[in-house]
């Protein structure tokens, strides 16, 4: 039996350097710390709370609602740390916001992908729960992201994401000198034929941890590459940031309407237009 009394950051969280009460409202989770400031520039006001390692956090207001953003760095190991420590200071809703590579021909560079679930092709979530456990986006978060994309007029696609630990071998890209990981081409084709829409590196761990802990999570990413057509352009970053920010505000309004109606879950009988 292990001694679980060792808990770094009982007061201030060890990695993100936040304390209980610092977070009020949904939290956006970009990978790149520089995207934190891109997102914050969209908001009505911001306050920098912490900046340690890959974890940079701002809090502020968007469309009159409280919201926060914390960068996670690249990959599921560091994203899981962010979710763990943010949850410990009171965060309950997480929206992964970033970039991705599409693996379906009809998805254009610059479009958005809103994740409904994820293939857990990363190792972090496997340290929490058996591999058959689904990585599912919360229905309310998906609804809010779709509503936001529709209101903003952004082209979007719904579907299953594949999250990997490797940008190169794990996503069936060649390595140095043309190296090809065993089964890379077959794996890519299998995912495409199964209807998986995109590759990225954090969503499945975020979704899995949120579900295990009874929290809400979802993901929206701008498409930077299409693996079928060979296109690659780093454009449209602002679309995902706008959509996630508006979705966070919508979720806060949804929660208020649910409380007033005495409802536990959002459903078709409730209306945002009533506010």
Q: Domain tally for the chain?
A: 1
Question: What does the pLDDT average to over 168-175?
Answer: 94
52 in a structural domain: yes
3 in a structural domain: no
15 in a structural domain: no
Q: Quote the percentage of the chain above a pLDDT of 70.
A: 96
Contact 156, 144 (CB under 8 A): no
197 in a structural domain: yes
Whether pLDDT at 237 is above 90: no
Contact 114, 203 (CB under 8 A): no
190 in a structural domain: yes
In this prediction, residue 6 carries a pLDDT of 62
Whether pLDDT at 53 is above 60: yes
Task: Render 2-68 in DSSP notation, one character per residue.
Answer: --TT--TTSSB-TTT--BTTS--S-EEE-SSHHHHHHHHTTSSEEEEEEEETTEEEEEEEETTEEEE
CA distances from 103 to 149, 169, 220, 221, 261 (A): 21, 15, 16, 14, 42
**Residues annotated as catalytic (active site), given as ranges:** 15, 85, 173, 227
Question: What does the pLDDT average to over 152-171?
Answer: 97
pLDDT tier at 236, thresholds 50, 70, 90: confident
CA distances from 141 to 31, 114, 168 (A): 19, 10, 30
- Average pLDDT of the chain? 95
17 in a structural domain: no
In this prediction, residue 7 carries a pLDDT of 65
Domain region containing 87: 27-256
Residue 268 CB contacts under 8 Å (≥ 6 apart), including other chains: none
Question: What does the pLDDT average to over 37-53?
Answer: 97
d(CA 217, CA 210): 6
Whether pLDDT at 14 is above 60: yes
pLDDT tier at 273, thresholds 50, 70, 90: confident
Whether pLDDT at 161 is above 90: yes
266 in a structural domain: no
Whether pLDDT at 261 is above 90: yes
pTM above 0.75, yes or no: yes
In this prediction, residue 235 carries a pLDDT of 87
In this prediction, residue 172 carries a pLDDT of 93
């Amino acid at each position: 039996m292990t001694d679980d009394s060792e808990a770094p950051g009982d007061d201030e969280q060890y990695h993100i350097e936040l304390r209980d009460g610092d977070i009020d409202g949904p939290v956006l989770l970009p990978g790149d710390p520089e995207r934190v400031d891109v997102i914050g520039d969209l908001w009505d006001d911001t306050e920098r709370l912490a900046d340690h390692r890959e974890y940079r956090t701002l809090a502020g207001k968007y469309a009159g609602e409280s919201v926060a953003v914390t960068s996670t760095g690249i990959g599921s190991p560091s994203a899981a740390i962010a979710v763990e420590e943010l949850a410990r200071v009171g965060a309950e809703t997480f929206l992964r916001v970033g970039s991705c590579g599409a693996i379906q021909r009809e998805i254009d560079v610059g479009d958005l992908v809103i994740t409904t679930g994820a293939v857990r092709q990363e190792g972090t979530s496997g340290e929490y729960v058996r591999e058959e456990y689904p990585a599912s986006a919360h229905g309310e978060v998906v609804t809010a992201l779709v509503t936001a994309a529709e209101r903003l007029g952004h082209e979007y696609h719904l579907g299953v994401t594949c999250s990997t630990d490797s940008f190169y071998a794990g996503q069936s890209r060649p390595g140095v000198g043309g190296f090809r990981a065993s089964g890379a081409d077959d794996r890519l084709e299998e995912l495409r034929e199964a209807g998986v829409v995109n590759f990225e590196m954090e969503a499945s761990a975020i979704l899995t941890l949120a579900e295990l802990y009874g929290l809400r999570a979802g993901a929206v990413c701008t498409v930077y590459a299409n693996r079928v057509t060979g296109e690659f352009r780093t454009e449209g970053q602002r679309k995902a940031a706008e959509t996630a920010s508006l979705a966070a505000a919508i979720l806060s309004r949804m929660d208020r309407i649910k409380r007033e109606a005495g409802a536990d879950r959002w459903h078709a009988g409730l209306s945002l237009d009533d506010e």
